């Protein structure tokens, strides 16, 4: 079974209803060994493409991961990017904004960490928290020092979506390719993973009582995600809804989409001019002597 990224992409203008998007699909692997083999192949190809990205120095890649707790963001990032040169890849996690960050507009703190040309940047959560958790918990907005909060909820969130889309369009026009993943986890699978975190001592550190409190707002989060995906998935910066109940399958889907994104850039190593070639041959001759 092949992975077709379009099967998971939200088309620009689509109205997303997450109840119609599966959290589990037929896996592309048949055995654990085959999963490992497929992932290793993807990782090896990603490593080669990342070297090309760095050498050509024309584009940057920004990968954004959003999901409910326990959906597997950390594991996907760790496994998929395991073969990429650390010098060419940076991961940033965004949690509660600091006092300094709250003194700026909602896009400021993430904009500082955008990847430079030739590199891959990964946002584990991102500026999208400002239209997700801030929408589910509007009291968060009271600490953001907003000048005119808001004329009306509909207009307020519409303006935030527009700011995000405008930023992503600007980045795309200046060489940064943005790929956004929503790891779509079922509520029942989250419950199982929470229990696993409690039962296995080495996973206790991953569990917080706050995670249980957030489960109470599951329906509100799904509505916030639906509105967000519908408003901000564009041709330049698409959202991919990745079924996340099967962690291994989700990693293969993510890695294939990232790989396709890099290959679509049709990168090449910089060509050596005749003058540079003569210079190199002269240096080689000196080394031989």
Q: Annotate 99-111 with DSSP letters as a single string.
A: TTGGGS-TTHHHH
Whole-angstrom CA distances from 252 to 5, 130, 243, 271 are 11, 29, 11, 33
pLDDT tens per residue across span 182-199? 999 999 999 999 999 999
**98/143 Cα distance (integer angstroms):** 11
Residue 112 burial (C-beta neighbours within 10 Å; 0-12, 13-18, 19+)? exposed
- For 279: left if phi > 0, alpha if psi spans -120 to 50, otherwise beta; the answer is alpha
Q: Where are the beta strands (DSSP E) in 148-276?
A: 176-184, 239-243
| Residues 119, 176, 128: CA angle, nearest 5 degrees | 100
Closest CA to 22 of 260, 233, 249: 249
Asked if the model's pLDDT at residue 205 lies above 80, the reply is yes
pTM of the model: 0.92
> 120: Cβ–Cβ under 8 A, 6 or more apart, which residues?
50, 53, 60, 61, 62, 63, 81, 84, 88, 89, 90
pLDDT at 69: 94
Under the banding of pLDDT at 50, 70 and 90, the label for residue 148 is low
Q: Does domain 5-288 have CATH number 3.30.465.10?
A: no
Q: Which CA distances in Å does 100 have to 29, 127, 236?
A: 47, 16, 31
Q: What is the pLDDT of residues 231-246, one digit of tens each?
A: 999 999 999 999 999 9
pLDDT surpasses 80 at 122? yes
| pLDDT > 70? residue 206 | yes
pLDDT of 64-115, one tens digit each?
A: 999 999 999 999 999 999 988 888 899 999 988 888 998 999 999 999 999 9
> Token digits for 121?
């940047």
pLDDT exceeds cutoff 70 at 149 = no
Q: Where do the domains of the chain lie? A: 5-288
Average pLDDT, the chain: 93
pLDDT cut 70: percent of the chain above it? 98
Structure confidence at residue 42 (pLDDT): 96
pLDDT per residue as tens digits for the range 134-143: 999 998 888 8
How far is CA 253 from its chain centroid? Answer: 13
Tell me the C-alpha distance between 128 and 68, whole Å.
13
pLDDT at 164 over 70: yes
Secondary structure (DSSP) of 80-133:
HTTTS-GGGEEEEE--SPPTTGGGS-TTHHHHTTPPPTT-EEEEES-GGGGGTH
CA distances from 153 to 135, 260, 276 (A): 9, 38, 60
Encoded tokens for 84: 């990429």
- Quote the crossing angle between the two packed helices 153-173 and 218-232, to the nearest 10°: 50
Over pLDDT 90: what percentage of the chain?
Answer: 75
Q: Give pLDDT, residue 282.
A: 87
Pairing of strands 60-67, 120-124: parallel
């Amino acid at each position: 079974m092949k992975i077709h990224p379009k099967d998971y992409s939200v088309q620009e203008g689509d109205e997303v209803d997450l109840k119609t998007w599966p959290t589990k699909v037929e896996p592309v692997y048949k055995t654990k060994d085959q999963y490992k083999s497929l992932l290793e192949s993807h990782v090896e190809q990603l490593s080669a493409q990342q070297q090309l990205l760095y050498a050509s120095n024309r584009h940057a890649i920004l990968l954004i991961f959003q999901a409910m707790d326990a959906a597997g963001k950390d594991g996907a990032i760790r496994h998929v990017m395991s073969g990429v040169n650390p010098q060419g890849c940076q991961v940033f996690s965004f949690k509660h904004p600091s006092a300094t960050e709250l003194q700026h507009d909602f896009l400021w703190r993430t904009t500082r960490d955008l990847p430079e040309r030739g590199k891959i940047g990964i946002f584990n959560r991102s500026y999208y928290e400002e239209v997700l958790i801030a929408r589910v918990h509007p009291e968060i907005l009271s600490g953001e020092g907003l000048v005119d909060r808001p004329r009306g909820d509909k207009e307020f969130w519409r303006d935030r979506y527009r700011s995000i889309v405008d930023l992503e369009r600007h980045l795309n026009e200046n060489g940064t390719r943005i790929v956004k993943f929503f790891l779509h986890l079922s509520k029942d699978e989250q419950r199982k993973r929470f229990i696993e975190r409690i039962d296995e001592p080495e996973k206790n550190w991953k569990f917080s009582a706050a995670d249980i409190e957030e489960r109470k707002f599951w329906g509100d989060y799904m509505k916030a995600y639906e509105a967000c995906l519908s408003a901000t998935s564009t041709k330049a910066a698409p959202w991919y809804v990745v079924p996340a109940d099967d962690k291994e399958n989700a990693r293969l889907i993510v890695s294939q989409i990232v790989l396709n994104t890099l290959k679509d850039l049709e990168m090449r190593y910089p060509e050596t001019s005749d003058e540079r070639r003569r210079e190199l041959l002269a240096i080689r001759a000196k080394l031989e002597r």
